[in-house]
Amino acid sequence: MQIKHFFRPITFIVYFFALTLTASLSWAQFYFAGEDGYRLWLKYDELQDQTRKKHYQKQLQSVLVEGQSPTSEVIRQELSYALRGLLGKALPNKTSIANHQLIVGTPQNSSLIAELQLAELADLGKEGYLIRKQKVRGKTVTVIAANTDIGALYGTFHFLRLLQTQQSIDQVSIVSAPKMDLRVLNHWDNLDRHVERGYAGQSIWDWHKLPDYQEQRYYDYARANASIGINGTVLNNVNADPLILTPQYLEKAAALADIFRPYGIKVYLSVKFSSPQLIGGLKTSDPLNPEVQRWWQEKAKEIYSIIPDFGGFLVKANSEGQPGPGDFGRSHAEGANMLADALASHGGVVMWRAFVYANEKNEERSKQAYSEFKPLDGQFRNNVLVQVKNGPIDFQPREPFSPLFGAMPKTPLMMEFQITLEYLGFSTHAVYLGTLFKEVLDSDTYAKGAGSSVAKVIDGSLFNNNISGIAGVANIGTDRNWTGHIILQSNWYVFGRLAWDHQLSAREIADEWVRMTLSNDAEVVATVTDMMMDSREITVNYMTPLGLHHIMDEGHHYGPGPWIKDLGRDDWTSVYYHRASPSGIGFDRSPSGVNAVEQYFPPVRDLYASPETIPEEFLLWFHHVSWDYKTRSGRTLWDELVHRYYQGAADVTAMKNTWNSLQGKIDPYQFRQVQMALGIQEKEAYWWRNACVLYFQSFSKKPIPTGLEKPQGTLEEYMKLKFPHAPGQGK
């Protein structure tokens, strides 16, 4: 574990000269040492509250971690590292059993825990744990017990979280098990280390130096994931390079799998459907061709011979130019099943993506995934999960939930969220996604009547599926702070926490994260948590209020581009989605238009069908309304739209000021990083506001509502801006 960036003599010399020569330079520009963000939420700095620290010290004078497995060793290391940090002193190495105050283990590796005959363990599965005060041989101790070493590791991290967030451990009694089986990060990382839609540096996988060079970062990545219950990682981009399946790269993937195994993390790979042709020398990749099937079976055998616990494949097929079974006249089910058969005997799964749309289909884009996949329900092998993006288009700042959730009862549907902020400001906009994730997970599909939430669909409880899962497109890169922005570390964090337990609230997770990452100071916690809770709605307001969507600039998706038109495909343009005209704005997906609402169950379908009953945040997603349409605030649509854009931008200024009020209460280096990013976010929020309002005004021909300043700049100026080297572009 690397702790801080160290004082370097050269920095000192440069600083000294700078200071003497330039009297006007402010101290605040330089930080010799400070929290650079590398340690994420696992900082374990010494507790400042002395009473609490002493209290913990008394209860943790001696710790026993049972077991000899690599995972037990990880638990031992983490506990000793964390307690040394938090409590400010090393634990004694050995004490007699009678003196232990914390015992971690399983009935298999600990006779002390076996003796307790903990009945609750029966319901906790392979990953659950319990933490509680318990009499052991006549003495009350804290016990962290699980059925497996991995469960004990998760329990340990939970226990440490209690200390990090300064909760009482006097009467601790916790029983916890994950609600979903597969809790997976999807890295859109290419083998040349470019990260598609990545805004935090390069890929953390140094493929060139693997398998021999094993970076410290790989271990810290595993620790961070284990601490929030993430148990799988797809190493490479869904737009997959077929080379990933060659022996050269499999050996590298195996090295990572070896590092991750003690942390309970399985490795998965994205595969290109045409691999049999591209690297196997076959003439076809037709899933019904026996030679193709044999090729995949041999490939699976080869993978499992070096990665015995390999998780399986993630597949993007017949989507955005990727090859797939459709190229051979076969269905998605036939393609997925062929791969599933190759993996089944080894225990692997296929995560088959439902993100498909094709120009030739002549069907409105938002409807296509449903039309293509719903008829296949019941045709997939039982080790296939269909991975569905949260909304029917593409990770927009706000989308209604995808109508596929609830529509395929016989198929385990896996959620795909995007943690990286491709459409919400890259890595310079502070947008906490906890509220977005919760909004989707809590949406009621009504598939089996009221109470059929999306969360219940994907955790498998609504339809009793045999397996369940959730994926998040990672926002991780080589930036020292991992995610390009301190606040955006919280999105990795909240994804893991909700994957474990979707009933937690976005606020309590934000609160936890702030305490562990920034400070336990009451003012910091309250202020930053509030800021985070509001942040996504603010971004929706300055980017895509009232149900607008897909109006960003083309290709790189950076900044506003409502004017984008005339691309290779209509459904890549902005004008296709907002349909602004002199008479009004919005996409008529109601029964009088393309009727996308028919894909939802009643009463959602009926609610969405009319502008009068639809929740206003989806108004322009489903309806084309006139500029004079009366919104619920009493304002006309035009006035409301402009107000929202203005409100969003003004709220970023307010957020920046709020952050500034915390100076001195947060580590200066962390503070400054966020402060600088907020400065960029503010500029860009006004850019979005001005560009969009001016553009839509060219249709509405209406004045800026009284009381609001005129937008700065001209539409022409905004339209001329070009960013050929914006980061994260697809290749």
Residue numbers of the site for ligand BDP (CB under 6 A)?
196-197, 238-239, 316, 320, 355, 394-395, 422, 730
Q: Is the dihedral of CA 633, 635, 639, 641 positive or negative?
A: positive
Residue 186 or 631: the one with the smaller Cβ distance to ligand BDP is 186
Min. distance of Cβ 186 from ligand BDP in angstroms? 9
3-state helix, strand, coil in the chain (%, to 5): 40, 10, 45
Is residue 185 classed as helix, strand or coil in its secondary structure? strand
Closest separation in Å from C-beta 233 to ligand BDP: 17
Q: 45, 215, 320, 501: which one is catalytic?
A: 320
- H or E element that contains 145: strand 139-146
Nearest partner of 453 among 467, 466, 437, judged by Cα:
437
For ligand BDP, which is the closer residue by CB, 71 or 190?
Answer: 190
Q: Is the CB of 134 or the CB of 539 nearer to ligand BDP?
A: 539
Nearer residue to ligand BDP within complex by CB, 196 or 241: 196
- Using CA atoms, how far apart are residues 679 and 149, in angstroms rounded to an integer? 45
* Pairing mode, strands 129-136 and 139-146: antiparallel
Question: CA 137 to CA 115: how far, in whole Å?
Answer: 9
Closest approach of ligand BDP to the CB of residue 391, in Å:
11
In DSSP terms, which residues pair with 269 in a beta bridge?
Answer: 313
Q: Could you tell me the smallest distance in angstroms from the CB atom of residue 677 to ligand BDP?
A: 22
> For ligand BDP, which is the closer residue by CB, 121 or 191?
191
394 is catalytic: yes
Of 416, 422, 444, 684, catalytic? 422
DSSP reduced 3-state for 294: helix
Q: Residue 345 or residue 359: which is nearer to ligand BDP going by CB?
A: 359
Nearer of residues 66 and 372 to ligand BDP, judged by Cβ: 372
For residues 131 and 238, which CB has a smaller minimum distance to ligand BDP in the complex?
238
DSSP 8-state class, residue 224: H
Residue 128 has phi, psi (to 5 degrees) of -75, 175
| 418/670 with CB nearer ligand BDP | 418
* Shortest reach from residue 196's CB to ligand BDP, in Å: 5
- Please identify, using beta-carbon distances, which residue of 268 and 355 lies nearer to ligand BDP: 355
SS3 593: coil
Residues 75 and 156: their CA atoms lie apart, in Å, by: 7
Element (H, E) at 133: strand 129-136
Rounded to whole angstroms, how far apart are CA atoms 573 and 561? 9
Q: How far is the CB of 488 from ligand BDP (least distance, A)?
A: 18
Secondary structure in 3-state letters for 225-239: HHHCCCCEEECCCCC
Can you state the angle between helices 50-59 and 70-87, rounded to 10 degrees?
A: 140
Which residues, 6+ apart, have CB-to-CB distance to 657 below 8 Å?
Answer: none
Give the torsion through C-alpha atoms of 74, 496, 206, 428, to 10 deg: -130
Letter for the amino acid at 276?
P
Angle at 155 between CA 151 and CA 161, to 5 degrees: 150
Asked if residues 208 and 163 have their Cβ atoms less than 8 Å apart, the reply is no
Which residue is catalytic, options 394, 439, 479, 512? 394
d(CA 436, CA 210): 36
| Shortest Å, Cβ 189 to ligand BDP | 12
- Work out how close the CB of 599 gets to ligand BDP at its nearest, in angstroms, rounded to a whole number: 20
Active-site residue 682, yes or no?
no
Pairing of strands 312-315, 266-271: parallel
The distance of closest approach from Cβ of residue 395 to ligand BDP in the complex, given in angstroms and rounded to an integer, is 6
Q: Tell me which H or E stretch contains 473.
A: strand 469-473
CB 317, CB 269: distance < 8 Å: no
3-state secondary structure string across 9-49: HHHHHHHHHHHHHCCCCCHHHCCCCCCCCCCCCCCCCCCCC
- Shortest distance, position 291 Cβ to ligand BDP, whole Å: 29
The residues that are catalytic are 320, 394, 422
